[in-house]
Structure 1
Amino acid sequence: MSGGTQKSIRKALGALKDTTTVSLAKVNSDYKELDIAIVKATNHVERPAKEKYIRAIFAAVSATRPRADVAYCIHALARRLAKTHNWAVALKTLVVIHRALREVDPTFYEELMNYGRSRSHMLNLAHFKDDSSPNAWDYSTWIRTYALFLEERLECFRVLKYDIEMDRPRTKDLDTAELLEHLPALQQLLFRVLGCQPQGAAVHNFVVQLALSMVASESIKIYQAISDGTVNLVDKFFEMQRHDAMRALDIYRRAGQQAERLSEFYEVCKSLDIGRGERFIKIEQPPASFLQAMEEYVKEAPRFSTVRKDQVVAPKEILAIEYKKAPEEEARPPSPPPPEPVKVEPVKVEAPEAEQPDLLGLNDPVPNTKELDDKNALALAIVPVSDQPTSMAPTLANGATGWELALVTAPSSNESAVASSKLTAYMTMQSDEAIRM
């Protein structure tokens, strides 16, 4: 089967699908006029859609319509985009969405983003392909990059809070913090623009060229906003802290790289007779010497603080309980501070050695004779008995004989022996003292 026959069959099948979908919408849909307009604006015919069907869709998503009608229209477009495997249907659906973003009020942005948050992103066509022909493969490649551009357009609107195509750029009046937030979003959007450069068979497709002309026209305002913001950023650059200066330097470098690529992109558009040439602005490269001065400043730019947070030594916290004094206690003068306690060295106590029992009383202390004389008025007169016979009974000085002396001298037991030894020592001390006198 020849290629022309296959193409004719595909066209016939596509027309049959569109007719069937329109017939079902007339019978089953509560929004049959809107469903018919969506099907005819995004049919399988490989030509741009008729304007009347596109205008019918725009009327359904305007701010004057109930939000339920707008939500249904977005849902119908998302369903059409998700179910198709035909490049013409997918591309024409994206063109309708793109034109609605450009020509309808900003409420359409909000509804489209709300739909994306509640469900999967309707513009995520990373896996889309139409492999019915080699040309269809090239078209599918360009459709995926075009969908990425539209998705980034929504993200840029979320960051900037205004549409870069419909409103005046505001980057020349922003402060440093807003510039460092808005410029990266705009540069990312310009990056998606540069990705829309067609390749292969997509270069000469009329529907692709129609969508490319809208992308190219928007790139002019995107670049102008980036240029204004870059000039504003340079004016503030040499007063920035080091962290902000590093981010600003990256933005400035990327602006120079994108300017070079944007010039190539415009040359491709001019060769395709898109924009007629006069609409494209002249791209000027930033001076390399100024970039070098910025790099030198970043090396010596002041930091927020000379001491990092993790190097700061926090003061020690002391737990305390607040004590409220009674009125009479507050009137009393403060008591003097207590004296510092005297540090006492611990005394090492040695355990006493076990002593042998003194059975004979040899270790008993010698009594003080003077104390004994004071206590005993009747001191005993000791008479030496060494010359007397042992059988003779001892006689005391006061005439006491017999049993009194026997109590002292009788060695009848161990206790008597101890007493005798003590008495002998006492007598010796008395005699020595008498001699000294």
Structure 2
Amino acid sequence: MSGQTLTDRIAAAQYQLTGSDVARAVCKATTHEVMAPKKKHLEYLISTTNETNVNIPQMADTLFERSTNASWVVVFKALTTTHHICIYGNERFIQYLASRTSLFNLSNFIDKTGTHGYDMSTFIRRYARYLNEKAYAYRAMAFDFTRVKKGAEGVMRTMATEKLLKAMPALQTQVDTLLEFDVHPKDLNNGIINAAFMLLFKDLIKLFASYNDGIINLLEKYFKMKKSECKDSLEIYKKFLTRVTKIAEFMKIAEQVGVDKNDIPDISYAPSSILESLETHMNSLEGKKG
């Protein structure tokens, strides 16, 4: 499996003949070599997303086309390349993904050519679901939760109640889909899945920061909300408590596979007294005792 195959070379040559440097770079980033997409090809694709004359739909379409390959290697690299451009490229790229009627259709993908391909197919299906969800969240909110400003003046901290109650479930679903990648250190046994894991780790850090900001905003507004809004907020907060544990577990895996401790945020647990206060307030609105 090592080295570029004849198919890889022919595909790259075809794109070169049609004059599409972008499609050729996509092809080069998604060869049959069992290694992460090469840095030089990723950097070229990222730089082109900032050029006004570059055809973003064509770049995305070539990546979607590569994801229909029968080889787990090519498909996984197409997903990893797409994710890399979502994180580091111009926002126009994810805007285009969000505008598409169809995204990655890999829920039934399976490479039966060997045990390794069979194992990796599971992660490909999960990864594709996450990337689709990332685009759906952008479509719903018109922004990327990983890219928005964080902290006291950030988007999630200053959002109005109505929009916040729409944003939080979308954010929770994206976090859930990322955590469903459900990888263990023993599974991180090749350059491609390792690259995917690191991109997911980077996304999760930023998603958690947005999630935390949203929860702080929710708690600050909670005691002034209408009963129906309090009910929704209480459910969001309960879900947050269960997800904090899962996020901490994901971060532990990152530490086990060599991510620097300083790069891993401290996932602190909220005291149960907060939940008790929220529930007491909810009960008082519903006229219950206790």
Q: Does 1:206 align with 2:191?
A: yes
Taking structure 1 as the reference length, what is the TM-score of the superposition?
A: 0.61
Give secondary structure in 1 for the equivalent of 2:188: helix
Find the partner of 1:280 among 260, 264, 272: 264
Deviations 1:253-307, CA, capped at 9 Å, x for gaps:
011000011111111111111x31211111222222221222222233279xxxx
Amino acid at match of 1:25: Y
Offset, 1:210 = 1.5
Alignment of 1:116-195 (within 5 A): 116-117=100-101, 120-121=102-103, 123-169=104-150, 170-195=155-180
2: CA distance between counterparts of 1:199 and 1:271? 10
Q: Does 1:300 align with 2:269?
A: no
- 1:24 paired residue number: 14
- 2:44 paired residue number: 56
**Gap change, CA 1:35 and 1:290, over 3 Å in 2:** closer
Amino acid at match of 2:8: D
State whether residues 185 and 256 of structure 2, in contact with CA within 8 Å, keep that contact through their aligned partners in structure 1. no
Q: Which has the higher contact order (CA 8 A, sep 6+)?
A: 2
Find the partner of 1:81 among 67, 70, 75: 67
Offset, 1:22 = 2.6
Offset, 1:199 = 4.5
Offset, 1:227 = 1.3
Deviations 1:219-244, CA, capped at 9 Å, x for gaps:
11211211121122112112222111
Structure whose CA Rg is larger: 1
State whether residues 126 and 144 of structure 1, in contact with CA within 8 Å, keep that contact through their aligned partners in structure 2. yes
* Deviates most, 50-59 or 85-94: 50-59
Offset, 1:59 = 4.0
2: CA distance between counterparts of 1:41 and 1:88? 11
Unaligned runs of 5+ in 2: none
Give secondary structure in 2 for the equivalent of 1:132: coil
2: CA distance between counterparts of 1:167 and 1:249? 24
* Bigger proportion of residues as helix: 2
2: CA distance between counterparts of 1:217 and 1:60? 22
Deviations 1:72-127, CA, capped at 9 Å, x for gaps:
22221111112x1111111111111111111222111222223x22xx32x23111
- 1:47 paired residue number: 35
State whether residues 168 and 236 of structure 2, in contact with CA within 8 Å, keep that contact through their aligned partners in structure 1. yes
Q: CA RMSD in A?
A: 2.1
Q: What is the aligned-residue identity percentage?
A: 23
Q: Does 1:113 align with 2:98?
A: yes
Deviations 1:291-343, CA, capped at 9 Å, x for gaps:
1222222233279xxxxxxxxxxxxxxxxxxxxxxxxxxxxxxxxxxxxxxxx
State whether residues 146 and 210 of structure 2, in contact with CA within 8 Å, keep that contact through their aligned partners in structure 1. no
Give secondary structure in 1 for the equivalent of 2:149: coil
Q: Does 1:268 align with 2:253?
A: yes
How many residue pairs match? The answer is: 283
2: CA distance between counterparts of 1:130 and 1:201? 20
Q: Does 1:36 align with 2:24?
A: yes
State whether residues 142 and 202 of structure 1, in contact with CA within 8 Å, keep that contact through their aligned partners in structure 2. no
Q: Does 1:102 align with 2:92?
A: no
Amino acid at match of 1:36: R
**Gap change, CA 1:43 and 1:234, over 3 Å in 2:** same
Taking structure 2 as the reference length, what is the TM-score of the superposition?
A: 0.89
